[in-house]
Structure 1
Amino acid sequence: MAAWRFVALFGVWCALWSFALSQSHPLLSSGPMLGYAEMTEVAIWVQTSQEATVQLRYWQQGKPETSRLTDPIRATKAGDHIALFRLTDLPFGTRFEYELYLNGEYVKRDYPLVFQTQPHWRWRTDPPEFTIVFGSCAYFNDPVVDRPGNPYGGEFEIFQTMHRLRPDLMFWLGDNVYYVEPDWLTESAMRRRWRLSRQQPELQPLLASTHHYAIWDDHDYGPNNSDSSFRLKDAALRVFADYFPQVRYGLPDAPGCFYRFEWGDVEFFMLDNRTYRSPNNLPPSPDKRMFGKAQLEWLKNALKSSNATFKIIACGGQMINPMVYFEGFGLFPTEQQELFDFIARERITGVVFLSGDRHFGELLKVQREGCYPFYELTASPLTAEPANGHPDEANNPARVPGTWMRGKRHFGLIRVLGKRGERKLVLSLCDKDGKPLFEHTITESELRWQN
C-alpha cells in the first residue's frame, strides 16, 4: 500500500510540475532558447504568440552590476513572431544569467535562464571539459492531424531529465519535428508544425539554459525518405534556419543545413543528408550520392584543415553500419568509400560519428584495414515510438556488445574530459529517467595513426 501511495503521489507531482511548466505569459509562445555560443557572441531565440516587443537583460553570473539591456526587437507576423538576439562583445569564458521582457513587462520563469561564452583557452590552459546531450526523432502529438489510434509521441519528461544534467550543448540530429501530410505542402504549414512543437512545456527549461545545434533528416525536411527532388527544400531550409539560428548554414553556391563549429579542442561537422540526396532506390553508381559533390568536398577540406583533437561528424542517418536494411550511408557505396578512403589517405586523426534516425540506439565500431577504429554512437528516438530494427541486426558484427538500446526512448550523452594530450570521450545512452545503459570511453590515443 505504501508503494502504491508513493506512485500515486509521484504521479500527482508530475502532473503539477507539467501544469506549472505550461503556465506562461500570454504573449510568449516558446523560448527563450539558446542558439550557438562563440567566444564573444551568443544567439538567443524567442517566439511570441502575437506582435510584441522583446528585450533581454543579462549580466555576468554573480555580478549584477554588469547588467545590460538589449535594444528592443519587434516580433512580427511577417517574421513568424520570432525575435533573434545576437549578443556581441561578450567576455570569453563567462557564464551569464538573463531575463526576458515582453512589451516592457518582466516574464518570470521557474527555471534557470543562463548562457555561456566559450573560453579562449589556446596557449593558456588545458582545453575545457564539457558535456553534450543529443538525440533524434522527437514527435510532438497533434490530434488534429495525427493518425488515429494511440499517440505516437510520449514520455516528454525526457527533456526534463536532460535538463537536470545541465549539459553545455544539445544536438538535434534530425526528425526534430515530424511533418505530416498537410505540413510539407506549404511553407506556412511547416511553420505551424514548428511553432506547435516548440511549445511543448517539458522542453522549455532545456531550451533556456543549454546551447542548441541542429541538422535535419527526412521528417523535418519533407516527406518520409525525401531526397533532392522535394519541391519545397528551399522553403524548408528557411524555416529550419529560423528555428535553429546558426552563424551560417551551407556555402554560397551550395545551400543546405551543413556547417562546422568548434567547442574547446573538439570540432563538429554537421551534415545535410537530404538536400543533395539521390533517391534511395536508385542502383549503386558513381552518381548516386547522399551528400552531393560540393558538400562532400567541403567536408573533406574541413577535416583536412582541422587541428581538433576529436573531429565529430554528425548526420541524420547512420554512417558506418555495414547492415543497411532501411536508410543509411551504405546505400551510397561510392560516396561512402570516397570519404573513408580520404580519411585514411590523408591520415585524419580523431574522427568519431554521431547519428539518429533508427528508433533504437547503439554504439558501432568498424575496424578498417590499416586504419584506427571508426566509432558511431546512434541515439533515437527521443519521444517518437521506439522500434527494434531488422531481425538480422540482432547479430550485427559492428555493434559493441551490450550497447543496443531497443524499445526505450532515450538520449545520447557525451562527456569530453581530460588534460591536454590525455583527452577522452565518455559515451553513454540514457533512458528517459537518465539511467545509462552503458559507458564506453574512447581516448585520443586510440584514434591516432600508429606509423
Structure 2
Amino acid sequence: MCSIGKLIDTTPCPGVQWTATFLLQPALEKGREVTEEGINRRTLLAGGVAAALTATAPATAAAAEGSAAPAAPEPAAGPLVGHVDTGTARIWARPGLDPTRYTRWRCTYRTGQDSPRRITTELSAANDHTLLADLDGLRPDTTYEFRLEPLSSAPGFTPLTGSFTTSPAPEQPAVVTMGMGSCAPSVPDRIWTRVLDEGCDSFVMLGDTPYVDTGDLAVARRKHREFLVQPEIARMIRTMPVWATWDDHDFGGNDQHGDFGGKVATRTAFVDHRANATFGHGADGSPLTTRGEGNGIYTSFRRGPLEVFLLDPRWFSRTEASWADPAKPTCLGRVQWDWLRERLLASTAPFKALATGMIWDDKQSSESDDWGTYAHEKEAILDFIAGERIPGCFLIGGDIHVSRALDYGPRVGYDLWQFIVSPMHGSTIPSLNVPSPYLKHSAVEPHVFLKLVADTTVPDPTLTATWINRDGTRFFEVRRTATQMGHPAP
C-alpha cells in the first residue's frame, strides 16, 4: 500500500491518473458542515448513487482535452469501500469517463487542525478501467469521507463520494455490527437499505453476489458492474467497508469446482470489481495484494473483536491430492491450508468466523459442492482448532436458499455453531432444509441477511447472530459469550 499523497500502482493504463480525496472526522462528530474551495459536505455527500446510475460526462468534455474522437462515457460504478482496518482503507471505482483523457483528479478534506491530503492513483486497463486507492496513516475508530473527481473540466460529472469508519483498535472495548449475506440478484431490492437501517457498520458478501454463470470474461465483468450499480447496493457499498468471496455462481456456474475451465476469467472479473486486502496467493505462495494473475481469492480481516477468515473452497478443489488424506481430492489446497493454520494461530480476536459460500455439511442433494464432499478436510480443520485450543471459532455458510443455525456440541473443546444465511433474493429451496440432530433453528424465508454483533464492552464479551428479512422481521437469534466459546481451565 502507498502512503497518503503517493502514487498507487495498480497495473496502470499509461498516462491515466486519478486522485482520490478523503474527508476525515472523529466517529462521534456528525452533521458539521465543512467548506473548502466552495465545496461543502452536503455537496460532497450528494450524488454518489446518482453517479453510479447515469452517464458521467458528455463526450464533448473529453474532446476538449485532445483532437482524437473521445470514448463514449459510461455509467460510473462505485465507489466501493473495500478492506478497512485500524489504519488503512482500500477504495474501488470504475468512474466511466474516457480513460485516455481524464488524467488528474482533486480531492479536499478538512477536520479540526488536520491538513488536506491527496492520493493519486491510475486507472488499470488490465482491470476493466477500474482504480484502487489505498489510503494509509488513518486513525482507529474514526469516520472518513472521501471524494473522487477530475481536476480538468468535465461538465456534467458528478463527484464520486462516500464514507467509512476505521476499525477499533484490537485492545479497545468496542461493539462491531457486521452484516453478511449470500445469493443476491442484480435488481433493486430494499434488503440493502435494511442492512443500513439495522446499524451495520460493515458487510460481507458470501457468494452468488452476483450470479455470473459464465466463463466469458466480458460477460462476467458486465454482470459484476450491473450488480454494483443497483441503487440500494450502490448506496451501501460507498458508506461502509465491504469484503467478498464467491460461491458457485460467481465462480462460474452451478455446482462448479476447481476443474472449471473458465475460472481464470471469473477470477479476473472478481478481482477487477472488489477491494479485498488480498486475493489468494501468487506463484510464490505469498498472499497477493495486487489484482494480477494469481490463485484463488481467499483473504482475512479483523474488525474490532471479530476476525473473519474468508476461505476459497472453489478454486483449488479437485486440483490436487488432499493435504488431509492423499487418497482423496483437496478442497482448500495445501497453500491455503498452511495460510489458514498460520492466521488462526496468530489471531487474538475473541471471535473468529470461518466463512465459505458453501455450507459446512452435506446438502443431501444431487450436488457435491459442500463440505460434506470434503469431510476429510473439514474434520482436519476442526481437529486443528481443538488440538491448538483456539477459542472463539464458529462457522458461516450460504448457498442453499435456506437459513439455519446448527450446534455441533463440544467438537472443538467448546460448542461449535454454524450460521447459514441464504437467500437475499426471493427464491427459497425448502427441500434443502434437511433434518439434522444438530439443527437448532431454521427458516425457509426469502430476502434474509445475518446481523452479527460482537461486543467487548461487557465483562464477558458476547456474539449475537440475528437472521433478519428486508421488512425487519426477526426469524431467530443465537447469543454466545466468550466464556461459552472458550476452553475450560485445565
Shorter chain as denominator, the TM-score bin is 0.7 to 0.9
Matched, 1:97 2:145: yes
Matched to 2:447, the amino acid is R
2:396 and 2:137 map into 1 onto residues whose CA distance is 32
1:323 deviates by 5.8
Paired residue total: 404
Normalized per residue, which structure has more helix? 1
- How does the TM-score come out when normalised to structure 1? 0.81
Match of 2:85 in 1: 38
Q: Which residue of 1 aligns with 2:343?
A: 302
Residue type of the partner of 2:208? D
Distance 2:342 2:148 in 1: 41
AA matched with 1:129 = V
Paired letter, 1:45: W
Tell me the TM-score normalized by structure 2: 0.75
2:476 aligned counterpart, secondary structure? strand
Q: Which residue of 2 aligns with 1:264?
A: 304
Q: Determine if contact 1:99/1:107 at 8 Å carries over to the other structure.
A: no
Give the direction of change, closer, same or farther, for the CA distance of 1:56–1:215 in structure 2 (3 Å limit).
farther
Tell me the distance in 1 between the aligned counterparts of 2:241 and 2:108.
Answer: 16
**Contact 2:168–2:304 (CA under 8 A) maintained in structure 1:** yes
2:275 to 233, 240, 245: 245
- What is the CA–CA distance in structure 2 between the aligned matches of 1:65 and 1:298, rounded to whole Å? 39
Unaligned runs of 5+ in 1: 1-17, 141-153
Query: Where do residues 303-318 of structure 1 align in structure 2 (5 Å cutoff)?
Result: 303-318=344-359
- Contact 1:427 1:439 (8 Å CA) reproduced: yes
> 1:22 offset after TM fit, Å?
4.5
2:218 to 161, 165, 188: 188
1:431 corresponds to 2:469: yes
1:262-295 Cα distance to aligned partner (Å, 9 max, x none) = 112322111001011129xx9x984222212222
Report if aligned partners of 2:56, 2:96 keep a CA contact under 8 Å in 1: no
Q: Which residue of 2 aligns with 1:114?
A: 163
Q: Secondary structure at the match of 2:226?
A: helix
Shift of 1:384: 5.4
Q: 2:429 aligns with which of 387, 396, 401?
A: 387
Question: Structure 1 residues 390, 312: closer, same or farther in 2, change over 3 A?
Answer: closer
Give the deviation of 1:234 after TM superposition. 2.6
- Partner Cα separation in structure 2 for residue 369 and residue 343 of structure 1: 9
Distance verdict in 2 for CA 1:56–1:230, change over 3 Å = farther
Q: Distance in 1 between matches of 2:312 and 2:81?
A: 22
> d(CA) in 2 for partners of 1:272 and 1:119?
27
CA contact (8 A) 1:359 1:387 kept: yes
Letter in 2 for 1:313: L
RMSD: 2.9
Q: Which moved more, 1:37-46 or 1:112-121?
A: 112-121
Change (3 A) 1:420 1:118: same
| Cα pair 2:183 2:425 within 8 Å, conserved | yes
- Which of 439, 448, 454 in structure 2 is aligned with 1:416? 454
Contact between 1:285 and 1:334, CA under 8 Å: does it hold in 2? no
Partners of 2:51 and 2:158 within 8 A in 1: no
Within 2, Cα distance between the matches of 1:120 and 1:428? 25
Show the 5 A alignment for 1:47-446: 47-52=94-99, 53=102, 55=105, 57=107, 59=109, 63=112, 66-71=115-120, 73-75=121-123, 78-102=126-150, 113-122=162-171, 125-126=172-173, 128-140=174-186, 156-180=189-213, 183-184=214-215, 186-252=216-282, 253-254=284-285, 255-278=295-318, 286-319=327-360, 321=361, 324-325=364-365, 326=367, 327-368=369-410, 371-383=413-425, 385-390=427-432, 393=434, 395-400=435-440, 403-419=441-457, 422-446=460-484
Deviation string, structure 1 residues 13-34 (Cα, Å, up to 9, x no partner) = xxxxx99984564554221110
